[in-house]
Amino acid sequence: VKLFACFMALLFFLLQAVPGKCLGLPKDTLRCVGYHGFCFRSKSCPEPFAAFGTCSRRQKTCCIDTTSNFHTCQDEGGHCVAPEIKCLQEQVGLCPHREWKCCTEV
């Protein structure tokens, strides 16, 4: 699993190194990569990854590494809210929509 994670990190690094290549990617794929995720063909993610949306126009699954600092909001005990909702206490965590906030209390 560690070898696979290292391979995926290297692949992600190479994709970032080629600036013009990502411009033609679908929005859901760009969002996944923006959250340091990887696109898998299967509907379920291998360990230690967790599903976090879709890729390739909903044909693949976006998976994020649960051992990294990029945990989902729900994993951290919070919930995602739209930007117009005021949080009493914000928390670190990824939300499916980039502009949304992770809150422990609304």
The domain containing residue 31 runs over which residues? 25-70
| DSSP of 25-36 | S-HHHHHHHHTT
Asked if residue 49 belongs to a domain, the reply is yes
What gap in Å lies between CA 60 and CA 58, rounded to an integer?
Answer: 6
Q: What is the pLDDT of residues 61-73, one digit of tens each?
A: 998 877 776 667 8
Kindly state the tokens that stand for 99.
């502009």
3-class SS shares of the chain: helix, strand, coil, % to 5: 25, 25, 45
Asked if residue 3 belongs to a domain, the reply is no
In a shared domain, residues 64 and 76? no
In a shared domain, residues 65 and 78? no
pTM tops 0.85:
no
Which residue type sits at 103?
C
Asked if residue 15 belongs to a domain, the reply is no
Q: Which helix (H) or strand (E) holds 16?
A: helix 2-17
CATH of residue 87's domain is 2.20.20
Domain count, the chain: 2
Q: What percent of the chain has pLDDT over 70?
A: 73
When pLDDT is cut at 50, 70 and 90, the band that residue 102 belongs to is confident
Asked if residue 13 belongs to a domain, the reply is no
Asked if residue 16 belongs to a domain, the reply is no
